[in-house]
Structure 1
Amino acid sequence: MFTRKIVLNVVLGVAASAALAAYAVIPRHADLRAFDPAEMARLETAMWRDYYDKRYVALFYHLYESTRTLFGFSPFRSLHIASSAAVAARTFQPTRSRQRADAALPALVAYYRDFAAAAPVAFDVEEAARLELDWWQARREAVAPRDYGLTIARIAALTYGKSADDAGIRQFGIVRAEAMAFRDARGEGIAAADWVRIEGQLGEAYQALKASVAR
């Protein structure tokens, strides 16, 4: 009887492990157009706060949450995407030149390569990664937010198969950049009310993107 219970427990444990593994890796129908703008704004605001406070574990968690719940990637793929994004952010943060910032490029390429599976059209993942790094660096070089906002718009146009001149795409890029510029201007003195304003700006940006890519 005792041996039978041990065998049963082992079988149940193996079955549970197999079920968990299957749940994690079974492909989902991920879609980059499936996001909710308000929830995307909430999570991106949380990620910005994590980044500036150097809370990398929390950053990883919010990256995973956004990828898993807003775009529908499998748990396993979401972990990989979140890991690539977190590595890119952490690698870039201490750099002070574009040459050194290029160390973040491989992680950004990996990030966009995973995202490409859920895009409505095929796109050049290396170009998307380079453009992402371009705007990260541009905001450190006193480039106007409207200018690097157009770079953000180019990334969105690339990944969603839209024209960079699309009004909604341009609005998304510029408003998102303005939210980032506002955060940068506040520096160490940023307050809770400022984060509320930032989340509102990001909500406006993602509403514009959603309206554009849903057409």
Structure 2
Amino acid sequence: MDWINLCSPTVKAQPGHYQPFTWPFGSFHALREIEDAEDKGVLNLLDHRRTRRTFHALSVDQLGQLLWYSMRTQAIAESDYGFDLELRPTPSAGAIHPIHILAHLPGTPNWRRYDSRRHGLVELPGTVEAFAGLVEQCQQTLPSEQATRLLLVAEPGKTATKYQHGESLIWRDAGALLAIMAVTAEALNYAFCPLGITGEPWAGQLAPSGVLAGVGVAMVGGPVSKT
């Protein structure tokens, strides 16, 4: 797969102007409005989910909870692609799950990769230095000394074994993963905020050219005070 580098979005120095599309007029059918759910299930959770940009320190165990509910491997199935297919809480095109999560808790020496099968973190030596530019970009986007940074790293070759022109599937996988993590964070009372940056070129430098690519960054913090 020839990976298409979309570059990290940046805020324009001078905003543009756009006239939204005007949809054709048609008959309107009002839908019944829904009252707040009395229970604390997922529908009530979605109704109150918010992006939060103030972060408290997150412990390793708290990070583990977020990853357990959103990323862990629940079951595997053999395939002819050279790797197993996986069942996880997050949907993925073809059950391929080409996206890895790299995490950095403040004060720790290196970034760590989440091993979804063993439910653990694997240290990546040398990543503090290698990702210094990424941390700086995160700080420019949303300054925080307490947030844990999460980097989504895609392995495009996995998706390419099944799909032609599968780049958009990987981006959709990334969006689905960020959404599930955002809802999970809300359920755990954590602060969570996806950033607009992709994590490139730093993610791609972890492996030979074309093997890995950054497809998103998020920041997460410990439990949010209700007072």
Q: Could you say which TM-score interval applies, normalised by the shorter chain?
A: under 0.3
Answer 1 or 2: which has greater strand percent: 2
Q: Normalization by structure 1: what TM-score?
A: 0.28
Bigger proportion of residues as helix: 1
TM-score (norm 2): 0.27
